[in-house]
Structure 1
Amino acid sequence: MKPIITALIALVALSGAAVAQVATPLVSVDWAVANIGKPGIVFLDVRGTLAGASEEDYKRGHIPGAIWTNYLKDGWRNQDGNGTIAQLPNVAVLETLIGDLGIANEDHVVIVPAGGAAIDVGTATRVYWTFKVLGHDAVSILNGGMKAYTAEIDADTKAPLNPIEQGEVKRDPEIFSAELRQDMLLTKTDVTTAWSAGGVMIDNRPYAQFLGITKHGKAKRSGTIPGAHNLPEDWLTENGGVLKDKAGIEKLYKIAGVPTSGKQINFCNTGHWASLGWFASHEILGNKDAKLYDGSMVEWTADPALSVQSAIAQQ
Structure 2
Amino acid sequence: MQALKRLTGLGALVLSLTLAQVALAATPLVSTDWLAENLKRDDTIVLDIRSPFAGSSREAYLKGHIPGALWSEYPGYWRTDRGDVVGVLPSVEKLEAALSELGVADGKTVVIVPAGGNSSEFSAAARIYWTLKYLGHDEVSILDGGHRRWTEEKRPLETGAVTPVGDMFVAEPRADYLTGTSDVARRMNTSTVLIDGRPASQFAGQAKHSKATRFGRIPGAVSLDQGVFYDDKAGRLKAPSEIAKLVPQGLDDKDVDIVSYCNTGHWAATNWFVMHELLGYKNVSLYDESMVGWSQDESLPIASERTMMDDVKAFFSNIFS
- TM-score (ref. length: structure 2): 0.85
Give yes or no for contact 1:202–1:267 (8 Å, CA) kept in 2: yes
Task: Give SS of 1:271's match.
Answer: coil
Give me the CA root mean square deviation. 2.1
Query: Which residue of structure 1 aligns with residue 79 of structure 2?
Result: 77
How many residue pairs get aligned? The number is: 290
Query: Which residue of structure 1 aligns with residue 108 of structure 2?
Result: 107
Specify which of 278, 281, 292 is matched with residue 287 of structure 1: 281
Query: Which residue of structure 2 aligns with residue 225 of structure 1?
Result: 218
Query: 1:212-252: CA deviations, max 9, x gaps?
Result: 11110110101111221111111111135311232211211
Query: 1:71-127: CA deviations, max 9, x gaps?
Result: 123x111123x5421100111100011111222222100000001101111010000
Supply the distance in 2 between the matched residues of 1:78 and 1:117 (Cα, whole angstroms).
Answer: 23
Query: Which residue of structure 2 aligns with residue 25 of structure 1?
Result: 28
Structure 1 letter corresponding to 2:178:
L
**What is the correspondence of 1:125-136 to structure 2 with a 5 Å cutoff?**
125-136=126-137
Q: Does 1:97 align with 2:91?
A: no
Query: Which residue of structure 1 aligns with residue 249 of structure 2?
Result: 257
Supply the distance in 1 between the matched residues of 2:127 and 2:26 (Cα, whole angstroms).
Answer: 17
Give yes or no for contact 1:120–1:241 (8 Å, CA) kept in 2: no
Supply the distance in 2 between the matched residues of 1:175 and 1:296 (Cα, whole angstroms).
Answer: 31
Query: Which residue of structure 1 aligns with residue 7 of structure 2?
Result: none
Supply the distance in 2 between the matched residues of 1:301 and 1:200 (Cα, whole angstroms).
Answer: 19
**What is the correspondence of 1:1-315 to structure 2 with a 5 Å cutoff?**
18=21, 22-73=25-76, 75-80=77-82, 83-152=84-153, 161-238=154-231, 239=233, 241-253=235-247, 256-257=248-249, 259-260=251-252, 261=254, 262-313=256-307
Query: 1:242-288: CA deviations, max 9, x gaps?
Result: 112322112111xx436152111110011000000000000010101
Residues 240 and 221 of structure 1: CA distance in aligned 2, closer, same or farther (over 3 Å): farther
Structure 2 letter corresponding to 1:29:
T
Structure 1 letter corresponding to 2:134:
V
Give yes or no for contact 1:117–1:240 (8 Å, CA) kept in 2: no
Task: Give SS of 1:265's match.
Answer: strand
Cα deviation, residue 47, structure 1: 0.9
Task: Give SS of 1:79's match.
Answer: strand
Percent identical among aligned pairs is 43
Structure 2 letter corresponding to 1:47:
R
Supply the distance in 1 between the matched residues of 2:104 and 2:246 (Cα, whole angstroms).
Answer: 36
Supply the distance in 1 between the matched residues of 2:115 and 2:276 (Cα, whole angstroms).
Answer: 23
Supply the distance in 2 between the matched residues of 1:314 and 1:30 (Cα, whole angstroms).
Answer: 55
Supply the distance in 2 between the matched residues of 1:46 and 1:84 (Cα, whole angstroms).
Answer: 23
Cα deviation, residue 21, structure 1: 7.9
Greater helix proportion: 2
Supply the distance in 2 between the matched residues of 1:42 and 1:19 (Cα, whole angstroms).
Answer: 17
Structure 1 stretches of 4+ moved >4 Å: 17-21
Supply the distance in 2 between the matched residues of 1:78 and 1:272 (Cα, whole angstroms).
Answer: 12
Structure 1 letter corresponding to 2:81:
Q
Give yes or no for contact 2:129–2:141 (8 Å, CA) kept in 1: yes
Supply the distance in 2 between the matched residues of 1:53 and 1:234 (Cα, whole angstroms).
Answer: 20
- Unmatched 5+ residue regions in structure 1? 1-10, 153-160
- TM-score (ref. length: structure 1): 0.87
If you compute each CA radius of gyration, which structure gives the higher value, 1 or 2? 2
Give yes or no for contact 2:28–2:277 (8 Å, CA) kept in 1: yes
Give yes or no for contact 1:203–1:267 (8 Å, CA) kept in 2: yes
Structure 1 letter corresponding to 2:204:
L
Supply the distance in 1 between the matched residues of 2:308 and 2:241 (Cα, whole angstroms).
Answer: 36
Supply the distance in 2 between the matched residues of 1:64 and 1:258 (Cα, whole angstroms).
Answer: 45
Query: 1:132-184: CA deviations, max 9, x gaps?
Result: 010000000001101111112xxxxxxxx211111110112221111111121
Give yes or no for contact 1:212–1:310 (8 Å, CA) kept in 2: yes
